[in-house]
């Protein structure tokens, strides 16, 4: 329940306002003096304050109210404050509204107007606090991320911030990590972030894509082979595990590993031991394994295609990378990275953000390369990206470029909640932030 503080030296005023607000479901606390009010705000969670302008008999200047206002704002910068004022203090009340007071009401006040004002201001105050918390979290994340090596990763979405946060936490440990996500979403880049920020950063980092190798060669690739172990093996071959000894091995598309390779991989994860193909001599290594897959390994386990015990060895912690259409705030920053200093209007921006990108970041990069080659100069349109056939049946509405007045109106309508305003215009949050800065709109 939202708690409202009423400050007035007149008990009749306190009683009347308390009854009015309690009837409408608010929790009310009262104070007779500025000192009492300051103590309440200092030690209690107050959603809104209603204050008189004078607290001493025969005083009508409003100076006491002015001092109290600034004191309360110093204790809680986001606290909405309504001033109750007589006509003699009107000039001071207007001065305080310019300084940040939420509103002022004359005596005698209108009950309906007061209740409506209270409800709107409490909702707006919550939105501002949510935005302040979000901004603080963003700043903290950016600070920690700036100190880390992010392997050139481009992102702006909350979803990717969480992925990066977890990757940096996992980098500090030596547990096995399974990165899951669709093709082209950036799983290898996340693996690089884990390795680059780990204690093994100076040690070997070896990558192998199990999906790019014939099944009969995967075991030789991972574990090595003696000369003559298979057709075409004319000399001894060092496997990826030996090459990665003391460091990190990244196994991409792990779901393509054949049963015999799965069994050997399980053994090396358990004991650090294996034999090259065609050899009886046991090798021993110390390797951290990061694996990745776009497959549903649990479904593969049910179908008998993947070992359950290996799955749990690989998946000490799973790091899920969402597809690009689940992190739309990344789309425009990625396009700006792939096509630096190129311009496109809001209709093109919205169409690119709304496009489903089934091929994820890889498809986006290829589309940008196409646009850059076929139209090296001038403003880019959506058709320049070669995606028109894929969205011809889309029912999404493309809005016109909003002007300053429209954005300000939407900010008022949605009480300053940036995410809601961005959705209203069909923009990403980053795109809306750029327009807020352009028009010098406070948020």
pLDDT digits (tens, 9 = 90+) for 264-315: 999 999 999 999 999 999 999 999 999 999 999 999 999 999 999 999 999 9
Look at residue 392 in the predicted model and tell me its pLDDT. 45
Q: Which of 137-141, 166-170, 250-254, 369-373 has the lowest mean pLDDT?
A: 137-141
More confident: 103 or 355: 355
123: pLDDT confidence band, cut at 50, 70 and 90?
confident
Phi, psi of 404 (to 5 degrees): -60, -45
Distance, in Å, from the CA atom of 334 to the CA atom of 355, rounded to the nearest integer, reads 14
| pTM of this structure | 0.63
Q: For the chain, which domains are there?
A: 3-128 (3.40.50.2300), 158-322 (3.40.50.300), 326-438 (1.10.8.60)
Q: What is the CA radius of gyration of the chain?
A: 31
44: pLDDT confidence band, cut at 50, 70 and 90?
very high
Q: Which of 313-322, 349-358, 421-430 has the lowest mean pLDDT?
A: 421-430
Residues 6 or more apart whose CB falls under 8 angstroms from that of 208 comprise 221, 222, 240, 249, 250, 251, 252
pLDDT at 30 over 80: yes
pLDDT at 326 over 70: yes
Distance, in Å, from the CA atom of 238 to the CA atom of 206, rounded to the nearest integer, reads 13
Query: What is the Cα 277 distance to its own chain's centre?
Result: 46
* Residue labelled with tokens 């790019």: 212
Residue 175 vs residues 7, 36, 172, 182, 429: alpha-carbon distances, Å: 57, 55, 9, 23, 35
SS3 372: helix
The answer, yes or no, to whether the previous bond of 89 is cis (omega within 30 of 0) is: no
More confident: 290 or 390: 290
């Amino acid at each position: 329940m939202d708690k409202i503080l009423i400050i007035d030296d007149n008990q009749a005023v306190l009683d009347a306002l308390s009854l009015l607000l309690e009837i409408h479901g608010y929790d009310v606390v009262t104070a007779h003096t500025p000192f009492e009010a300051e103590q309440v705000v200092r030690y209690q969670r107050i959603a809104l304050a209603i204050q008189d302008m004078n607290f001493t008999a025969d005083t009508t200047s409003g100076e006491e109210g002015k001092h109290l206002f600034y004191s309360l704002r110093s204790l809680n910068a986001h606290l909405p404050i309504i001033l109750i004022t007589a006509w003699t203090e009107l000039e001071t009340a207007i001065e305080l509204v310019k300084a940040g007071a939420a509103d002022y009401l004359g005596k005698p006040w209108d009950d309906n107007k007061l209740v409506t004002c209270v409800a709107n201001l409490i909702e707006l105050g919550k939105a501002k606090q949510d935005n302040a918390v979000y901004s603080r979290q963003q700043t903290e994340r950016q600070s920690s991320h700036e100190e880390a090596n992010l392997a050139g990763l481009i992102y702006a979405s909350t979803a990717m911030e969480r992925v990066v946060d977890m990757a940096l936490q996992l980098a500090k440990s030596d547990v096995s990590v399974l990165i899951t996500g669709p093709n082209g979403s950036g799983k290898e880049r996340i693996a690089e972030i884990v390795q680059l920020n780990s204690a093994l950063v100076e040690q070997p980092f070896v990558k192998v894509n199990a999906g790019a190798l014939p099944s009969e060669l995967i075991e030789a690739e991972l574990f090595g082979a003696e000369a003559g172990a298979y057709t075409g093996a004319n000399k001894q071959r060092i496997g990826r595990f030996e090459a990665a000894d003391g460091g990190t091995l990244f196994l991409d598309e792990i779901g393509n590993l054949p049963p015999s390779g799965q069994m050997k991989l399980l053994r090396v994860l358990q004991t650090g031991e294996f034999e090259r193909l065609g050899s009886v001599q046991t090798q021993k290594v110390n390797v951290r394994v990061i694996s990745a897959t776009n497959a549903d390994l649990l479904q593969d386990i049910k179908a008998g295609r993947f070992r359950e015990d290996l799955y749990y060895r690989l998946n000490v912690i799973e790091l899920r990378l969402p597809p690009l259409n689940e992190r739309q705030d990344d789309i425009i920053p990625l396009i700006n990275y792939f096509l630096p200093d190129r311009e496109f209007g809001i209709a093109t921006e919205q169409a690119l953000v709304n496009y489903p990108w089934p091929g994820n970041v890889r498809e986006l990069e290829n589309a940008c390369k196409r646009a850059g080659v076929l139209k090296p100069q001038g403003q880019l349109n959506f058709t320049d990206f070669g995606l028109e056939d894929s969205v011809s049946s889309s029912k999404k509405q493309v809005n016109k470029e909003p002007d300053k007045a429209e954005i300000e109106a939407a900010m008022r309508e949605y009480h300053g909640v940036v995410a809601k305003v961005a959705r209203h215009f069909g923009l990403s949050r980053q795109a809306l932030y750029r327009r807020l800065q352009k028009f010098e709109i406070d948020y």
